Structure 1
């Protein structure tokens, strides 16, 4: 892939990448929107589907999950990380791709949100109405999402959720990674290594003094490029994996 071709592609991407949740338009243009929150929402959601979750209900706000569980007794619900990243009392998991490996979600509904990615999904749902289709993608399922959307006749926008209203390097990398696949231009080994370094050095040092689960999430899950095939799409408030036949079941 030539440098000139790379520059042309990434110039085009400036028109279709939304650099943070705070920059989501009040009146989004019709199209497909992929929410990218690499650490952790866009990595945790594909893991829930990989472990058999029926769907992931995105709550309007944190704290609504117990009400969802009262209406869906078989559901597993996610809350905050709690003390020492061991989860909150009354919840089954939190936004961690490694923590959910030990939660029995097979065949069950789940419910959660997150400060950045989950809330970006809700912002888009509220603002976009029927003209906006919402997906969740990251480094682990980015190719699968791109392959699904490549034949769409709708414009695809990549929402790099960011943090506290500002862009974050790992989400920008996630958007570029998906865009390369979307436009049929797989990454060179050199560029993939560069993207990996941006994420690793952007997040890794922050996790050194935190419980080991944060480093496990980053190095064993977040950076596992193209390891998942789930294509989460929002239907109502439910993310369903459109690659499976069971996405539309009711409880």
Structure 2
């Protein structure tokens, strides 16, 4: 496991890399696909999304959360698994990045080139992703995206959860409860002081273990759902 985005090596070993950013990127991406998005283009910089939409007029683009988590002008959504439920992405391209998970995807793409295959995983799609990875020959590495260059408990919990399933040793109910507590204790108290959408994102989406059979895999700058290829 790579315990934070800041520790991604300059020359990653060849293999499969799973970016885990439980709150929010790794939970928002599966929701976009569950709602029918054609793909999720990961921009290199926040602010590149309007240019992508100009080139792809049907696209829906994500930006910053804006004041009181209502989004920002010129964007269709932001990095929130509950907010994207109200956005019509069916059959459309989408584009976004995020400070931790989205940028970790870009870091791996730029550093690893063709030797690295990047996936996005969290608690909501952990089993589906693990089943896909177990069918692959390449070694698997987990990037717990973290925050501000430091590890985050919720991302470590998400990475461990997927890894246990990858190794054919799924966690017991008691162990699942521990992973849940790691996420709740890491984020819950902080989110109590924020608008309701943050608690909805956490408790109804990020902690919805195995609610999605989505396997996001990067091809160029675009994530596609390859669950049908498993």
TM over 0.5: yes
Residue in 1 that maps onto 2:59: 75
The 5 A counterparts of 1:1-251 are: 17-244=1-228
Please give the secondary structure, in 1, of the residue aligned with 2:208. coil
Separation of aligned partners in 2, 1:112 and 1:20? 20
Task: Tell me the CA shift for residue 209 of structure 1.
Answer: 1.3
RMSD of aligned alpha carbons = 0.7
What is the aligned residue count?
229
- Unmatched segments (≥5 aa) in structure 2: none
Q: Structure 1 length normalisation: TM-score? A: 0.90
Q: Structure 2 length normalisation: TM-score? A: 0.99
Task: Tell me the CA shift for residue 151 of structure 1.
Answer: 2.0
Task: Tell me the CA shift for residue 153 of structure 1.
Answer: 1.2
Deviation per residue, 1:189-222 (Å, 9 max, x gap): 1000011011011101001111100000000000
Task: Tell me the CA shift for residue 244 of structure 1.
Answer: 4.3
Deviation per residue, 1:5-47 (Å, 9 max, x gap): xxxxxxxxxxxx0000001000000000000000000000000
Separation of aligned partners in 2, 1:45 and 1:58? 10
- Unmatched segments (≥5 aa) in structure 1: 1-16, 246-251
Deviation per residue, 1:171-206 (Å, 9 max, x gap): 000010000100011110100001101101110100
Separation of aligned partners in 1, 2:196 and 2:144? 26
Q: Which runs of 4+ in 1 moved over 4 A?
A: none
Deviation per residue, 1:39-73 (Å, 9 max, x gap): 00000000000000000000011000000000000
